[in-house]
Amino acid sequence: MAAREGIVRPVWAAAGLVPTLTVAAFVNHLNVIAHLNVIAWNPFLPFIAEAHGIGIAILGQLPALLLVLSAVLGLVIGPLADSYGYRPTMVLSLLAVAASSSRHDRLAAEPRV
């Protein structure tokens, strides 16, 4: 594929993209509880419900809520990415994920009374 004239991209900038995305996807699948990963959620419902003192039926509604929220946010973030660019949108999204994961870790570490 021939590069367009006037666009120069350093090779090192794209060299780590595929390994970085691969590691990110792998870590996302390992981090089941913090991100409510729908794929591996169901077998752990009884244990998580018991640990938090809520019913399994209520806890089972969270993956559906996650998918609905993802659809709604996709409709909002898509036009924002088109307006401001994809890189700033991705950086902001990654910072939001890091902040929410950090908050979840702090809440999980607090002792329950």
Write out pLDDT tens, residues 36-81.
555 567 777 888 888 888 888 888 787 778 778 878 888 888 898 8
The alpha-helical segments, DSSP class H, found in the chain are 11-15, 17-30, 32-35, 45-52, 56-60, 62-84, 86-109
> What local confidence, expressed as pLDDT, does residue 47 receive?
87
Q: Find the length of the chain.
A: 113
State how far the alpha carbon of 21 is from the alpha carbons of 34, 38, 103, in Å. 19, 19, 24
Q: Which of 13 and 75 is assigned the larger pLDDT?
A: 75
Look up residue 20 and give its amino acid: T
> How many other CB atoms are there within 10 angstroms of residue 64's CB atom?
10
**Eight-state DSSP code of residue 2:** P
Return the C-alpha torsion angle 14, 88, 94, 18, nearest 10. Answer: -10
Predicted TM-score of the model (pTM) = 0.47
> What local confidence, expressed as pLDDT, does residue 82 receive?
92
| Residues 6+ positions from 2 with CB-CB distance below 8 Å | none
> What local confidence, expressed as pLDDT, does residue 108 receive?
57
* Range from 28-32, 61-65, 86-90 that averages highest in pLDDT: 86-90
Mean local confidence (pLDDT), 17-28: 76
